[in-house]
């Protein structure tokens, strides 16, 4: 068994190959994977979230998958509780917690002493701001966020009104911005520093080609049928998970408000934009050691990261 006891994280943009590399790392390191993906927590949302397939889930132990229904309220605090409990159980088995995913706050929740803002959901407050967005537009809502917290406004998509409103809600309840709280959490690192590795594509066009190929593969695998099935199960297109990347476009197509070609094209374009926001987030975390992933197989990447993990762990032990 590996003598490494600290947590390890593998991050990067969507379609960068994190799942395949993570499975190989889990096999090499005697690790168990904690998924840090805000969409893979939802049951029945498999294809559009790029959830590990049944075959992939037989190759490694996964946690934090399929833990909530699409109409269930799910928060960062819920994930932190679930993820911390999983990491503790993994460590008790003397395995390594391997955090794999592209949701920056989820990764941070398990690799720092992240204090979730003490601002419980205020439905009246949220309803007022949803009404504001409907009346004045999403751009006007984002401008309100930018007025108090420019950094948060810049990293959130203009149509992500849920997180825009959450930023306003936290500020109203605490008088502090999410940017300030996140910076404080990042400075408040655990004394047992986790090891973070990121998959980097120097040639951005190659990443975009991978994104386009992934969207095409999702469509071929039955993504539209998955969305239809969710609707048949009673999950409204207005639900937050049903407005997520890909699901939103296919729901719009099913409503007759967008052509098929336009829906697929928008899905690809928005996924590229999402990957840019992910990279901005992870590049802001100076702990991440970047690994060049251009033209390299998952096996090659897993081999290099395994070697670096051993080397970096030994170096950290020599320089506590």
Q: What is the CATH number of the domain that holds 17?
A: 3.40.50.300
Say yes or no: 31 and 167 in one domain: no
Residue-level pLDDT at 133: 93
Residue-level pLDDT at 116: 64
Least confident of 111-115, 283-287, 291-295: 111-115
188: pLDDT strictly greater than 60: no
17: pLDDT strictly greater than 90: yes
Say yes or no: 82 and 137 in one domain: no
Distance between start and end Cα atoms, the chain? 23
Q: Is residue 263 assigned to a domain?
A: no
Name the E strands within 86-158: 96-100
What share of the chain has pLDDT > 90, as a percent?
Answer: 77
Residue-level pLDDT at 318: 61
Which residues lie closer than 8 Å to 12 by C-beta, 6 or more apart?
18, 102, 198, 199, 200, 278, 282, 293
Residue-level pLDDT at 203: 94
Q: What average pLDDT is seen over the chain?
A: 92
Q: Is residue 243 assigned to a domain?
A: no
Say yes or no: 70 and 158 in one domain: no
Residue-level pLDDT at 187: 59
Say yes or no: 92 and 173 in one domain: no
1: pLDDT strictly greater than 50: no
Reported as a pLDDT band with limits 50, 70 and 90, residue 214 is very high
Q: Domain of 101?
A: 8-115+188-206+279-318
Say yes or no: 195 and 104 in one domain: yes
Look up tokens 């009404």; give the residue: 131
Say yes or no: 27 and 163 in one domain: no
Report for 129-143, 148-162, 209-223: range of highest mean pLDDT: 209-223
Label residues 75-111 b or e (16+ Cβ within 10 Å = b).
ebeebbebbeebbeebeeeebbbbbbbbbbbbbbbbb
Q: Is residue 260 assigned to a domain?
A: no
102: pLDDT strictly greater than 90: yes
Q: Is residue 93 assigned to a domain?
A: yes
Say yes or no: 92 and 148 in one domain: no
Say yes or no: 15 and 132 in one domain: no
Residue 142: CATH number of its domain: 1.10.20.140
Q: What is the largest CA-CA distance in the chain?
A: 62
- Give the C-alpha distances (Å, rounded to integers) separating 47 from 118, 121, 196: 34, 30, 27
Reported as a pLDDT band with limits 50, 70 and 90, residue 258 is very high
Say yes or no: 284 and 135 in one domain: no
- Give the C-alpha distances (Å, rounded to integers) separating 242 from 68, 126, 270: 14, 19, 15
CB 36 within 8 A of CB 102: yes
Mean pLDDT of 111-140: 85
Half-sphere exposure of 110 (CA within 13 A, CB side): 37
Look up tokens 């590399």; give the residue: 21
Say yes or no: 56 and 194 in one domain: yes
Say yes or no: 61 and 86 in one domain: yes
Q: Which tokens is 320 given?
A: 């506590």
Reported as a pLDDT band with limits 50, 70 and 90, residue 114 is low
Burial (0-12, 13-18, 19+ Cβ within 10 Å), 319 = exposed
Say yes or no: 82 and 68 in one domain: yes
Domain count, the chain: 2
Q: Which tokens is 191 given?
A: 């004394």
Collect contacts of 304-307 with beta carbons under 8 A, ≥24 apart: 305/10, 305/21, 305/25, 305/197, 306/25, 306/28, 306/29
């Amino acid at each position: 068994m590996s003598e490494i006891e600290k947590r390890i994280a593998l991050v990067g943009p969507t379609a960068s190959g994190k799942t395949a590399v993570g499975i190989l790392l889990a096999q090499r390191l005697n690790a168990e994977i904690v998924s840090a993906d805000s969409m893979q927590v939802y049951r029945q949302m498999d294809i559009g979230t790029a959830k590990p397939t049944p075959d992939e889930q037989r190759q490694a132990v996964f946690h934090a998958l399929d833990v909530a229904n699409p109409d269930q309220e799910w928060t960062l605090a819920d994930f932190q509780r679930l993820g911390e409990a999983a990491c503790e159980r993994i460590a008790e088995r003397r395995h390594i917690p391997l955090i794999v995913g592209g949701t920056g706050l989820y990764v941070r929740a398990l690799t720092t002493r992240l204090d979730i803002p003490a601002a419980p959901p205020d439905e009246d407050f949220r309803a007022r701001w949803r009404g504001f967005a409907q009346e004045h537009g999403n751009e006007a809502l984002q401008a309100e966020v930018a007025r108090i917290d420019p950094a948060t406004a810049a990293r959130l998509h203009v149509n992500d009104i849920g997180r825009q409103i959450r930023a306003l809600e936290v500020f109203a309840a605490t008088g502090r911005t999410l940017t300030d709280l996140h910076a404080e959490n990042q400075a408040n690192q655990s004394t047992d520093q986790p090891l973070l590795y990121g998959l980097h594509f120097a040639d951005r066009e190659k990443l975009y080609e991978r994104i386009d190929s992934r969207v095409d593969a999702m469509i071929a695998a039955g993504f539209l049928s998955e969305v239809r099935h969710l609707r048949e199960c009673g999950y409204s297109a207005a639900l937050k998970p049903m407005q997520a990347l890909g699901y939103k476009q296919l729901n719009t197509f099913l409503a007759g408000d967008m052509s098929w070609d336009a829906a697929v094209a928008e899905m690809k374009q928005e996924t590229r934009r999402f990957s840019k926001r992910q990279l901005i987030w992870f590049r802001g975390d100076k702990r991440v050691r970047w690994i060049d992933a251009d033209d390299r197989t998952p096996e090659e990447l897993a081999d290099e990261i395994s070697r670096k993990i051993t080397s970096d762990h030994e170096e950290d032990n020599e320089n506590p």
